Amino acid sequence: EPEVTQTPSHQVTQMGQEVILRCVPISNHLYFYWYRQILGQKVEFLVSFYNNEISEKSEIFDDQFSVERPDGSNFTLKIRSTKLEDSAMYFCASGSLNTGELFFGEGSRLTVL
Amino acid sequence: RKEVEQDPGPFNVPEGATVAFNCTYSNSASQSFFWYRQDCRKEPKLLMSVYSSGNEDGRFTAQLNRASQYISLLIRDSKLSDSATYLCVVNNNNDMRFGAGTRLTVKP
């Protein structure tokens, strides 16, 4: 069964460092998303991406964040200068137009020290 | 008003109980609706879609009331394995927004 894969599963970084989280969505999907979940809190929308551009972004997704789909398969989230409060689980998801269902990766846990 | 609002929970029920979760959404133009399940420290996974006519999948029944902008999930004969957080998800033009989730614990 096709699945969304994310790397790394866990990254520990120092405050102020740049982090890139990688995702390989399901190949025939058209919509791509990043969500984050701080431990014990809700799943928060960060950004959606369609047709090689951002279609929606939340207030969390400030200038420190960016997304790219550099090669038609990977979908990356970059945090330019990490803050302590960026520590969270980051979930990538992809979806097709037809069903509206989202398929999630297993997440990348980011710990900022 | 929050975009997607759910019962805060937690719900602690004995095995075999029937439990119902509610969810309201603010955007009347939303097109599709889902219940996802999230186990501790795992990714959300689709439990079921929610249709206007209501739909059932085994012990799970989902209902949608567009006029009231309200979605529900009913779990009958709850099992220990039903313990999880249940997330209400609302889709508007492929913009998928999640409720905060309702935590369910089923006890022996």
Beta bridge pairs of residue A32: A49, A94
Of chain A, the percentage scoring pLDDT greater than 70 comes to 96
How many angstroms away from the CA of A71 is the closest CA of chain B?
Answer: 23
A37-73 pLDDT per residue, tens: 999 888 999 999 988 899 889 999 999 999 999 887 8
Predicted pLDDT of residue A38: 95
Which value, to the nearest 10 degrees, does the dihedral of the CA atoms of residues A54, A5, B38, A41 take?
A: -50
How many angstroms away from the CA of A42 is the closest CA of chain B?
Answer: 5
Distance CA(A32)–CA(A51), nearest Å, equals 10
Picking from B17, B16, B11, B25, the residue whose alpha carbon sits closest to that of residue B70 is: B25
pLDDT tier at A99, thresholds 50, 70, 90: low
Predicted pLDDT of residue B86: 96
How many Cβ atoms are within 10 Å of A52's Cβ, its own excluded?
A: 8
User: Is residue B104 within 8 Å of B83, Cβ to Cβ?
Assistant: yes
* Buried/exposed code over B61-71 (b: 16+ C-beta within 10 A; e: otherwise): bbbbeeeebeb
Predicted pLDDT of residue A98: 60
**Positive or negative: CA dihedral A102, B84, B10, A34:** negative
Q: Which residues of chain B have pLDDT under 50?
A: none
Distance CA(A3)–CA(A17), nearest Å, equals 30
B43–A contact, CB cutoff 8 A: yes
Q: Give the mutation candidate from A1, A21, A33, A42 for the B interface (greatest B CB count, under 10 A).
A: A42
Predicted pLDDT of residue B95: 81
Predicted pLDDT of residue B82: 97
Using the beta-carbon criterion (under 8 Å), do B94 and A106 form an inter-chain contact? no
pLDDT tier at A27, thresholds 50, 70, 90: confident
Predicted pLDDT of residue A14: 97
B3–A contact, CB cutoff 8 A: no
Predicted pLDDT of residue A49: 92
User: What value does the CA radius of gyration of chain A take, rounded to a whole number of Å?
Assistant: 13
Chain B residues 58-87 with a CB less than 8 Å from chain A? 87
Residue A106 has pLDDT above 90, yes or no: yes
Closest CB from B31, B96, B99 relative to A102: B96
Chain B contact set for A31 (CB, 8 A): 94
Using the beta-carbon criterion (under 8 Å), do B95 and A48 form an inter-chain contact? yes
Q: Mean pLDDT for chain A?
A: 92
Distance CA(B101)–CA(B90), nearest Å, equals 13
Picking from B1, B42, B43, the residue whose alpha carbon sits closest to that of residue B24 is: B1
